[in-house]
Amino acid sequence: MYVIFRCDCGRVLYAKKGVATRKCPCGKTIKVKSRRILQKVETAEDAAYAVQKMQEEIYGDSMFSTADEYKNNKFLNQLDRKMKKL
């Protein structure tokens, strides 16, 4: 069983039921027991999917991307900015 909850920064996270703490990518260590549980799911795959859907509801229909996609987009954005300055 996995529980889904939110960090103070707004990010939706999941953790295995019974885990005491979870570290958010923002850097904060969260005590899972003290958080309001938004949803409970059976598998890690279901938890990841539920977190993705909640994040999309909160921040719009922005799709998650892989590190490679992020790196390529960052490079292209830097090129675009340089070209605009010229």
Tens-digit pLDDT profile for residues 15-27: 999 999 999 988 8
The tally of domains found in the chain comes to: 1
pLDDT at 14 over 90: yes
Domain extent at residue 27: 2-85
CATH number at residue 63: 3.90.820.10
Spell out a b/e string for 34-73, using b for 16 or more CB atoms within 10 Å of the CB, else e: ebeeebebeeeeebeebbeebbeeeeeeeeeeeeeeeeee
Tens-digit pLDDT profile for residues 30-81: 999 999 999 999 999 999 999 989 988 887 766 555 656 656 666 666 666 6
